[in-house]
Amino acid sequence: MRIVIADDAVLLRAGLERLLTDAGHEVVAAVGDGNALLGAVAEHRPDLAVIDVRMPPTFTDEGIRAAVLIRRQDPEVPLLVLSQYVEERYASELIADSPTGLGYVLKDRVADVEDFLGVVADVGAGGTWLDPEVVQQIFIRSRRRRSLEGLTPREREVLALMAQGRSNQAIADTLFVSAGSVEKHISSLLGKLDLPPVDGENRRVMAVLRYLESEER
């Protein structure tokens, strides 16, 4: 296979290149940032792109955002994302666009060379290889998003105002309802969000976090 590697760590990049070359693959480009990755894929149209999630300039999610863009611009290019953590938002986008020719593997799950080369072969051939932790996080995110869809318009208004840090009385004044009515809406939405009373947990904060997660989408 003709492969492009994208990883900001020089030693790891060189190690991957040597490993893949020794296995009979051709590394047509080895780059260290998202822009260079996009350029390399456009130039070489490889059989597989192996991509690290964290790359310059912020070392957060540049790699996987580049992967999403590649998948939209050229869905025929198989992608293998390597990461130390799950970035479920972009992982969901990748899978939604097309699950074939796609791998998302946590680095510590690739136990040995044979395992890794097996994943490379499967994904390059158009297969799908998703780390179990990735699947779990995507499922949790999807379930939380669906739970918000069960809120009434008024409950969503109340939750949005809670996210702004407003008190029950302030919410009541804004919506021209009684404080008691606001308390009932909050109690109802907490139940719909599956946030029952649990010692040591702030249900109101958890509800706001759930709302913010949905808004990011």
Interval 31-77: pLDDT, tens: 999 999 999 999 999 999 999 988 888 887 889 889 999 998 888 99
CATH of region 150-216: 1.10.10.10
Identity at 51, one-letter amino acid code: I
- Cis upstream peptide for 196 (omega within 30°): no
Give the integer Cα–Cα distance in Å for 170 and 192. 23
What is the DSSP code (8-state) at residue 109? G
Of 46-50, 130-134, 144-148, 161-165, the least confident: 144-148
For residues 96, 100, 102, 106, the Cα torsion angle rounded to the nearest 10 degrees is 80
Question: Per CATH, which fold does 2-131 belong to?
Answer: Rossmann fold (3.40.50)
Interval 158-194: pLDDT, tens: 999 988 888 899 999 999 999 999 999 998 888 888 7
| Common-topology check for domains 2-131 and 150-216 | no
Q: Are 81 and 53 in contact (CB under 8 A)?
A: yes
> What are the sequence ranges of the domains in the chain?
2-131, 150-216
Phi, psi of 197 (to 5 degrees): -60, 125
Q: What pTM was estimated for this model as a whole?
A: 0.67
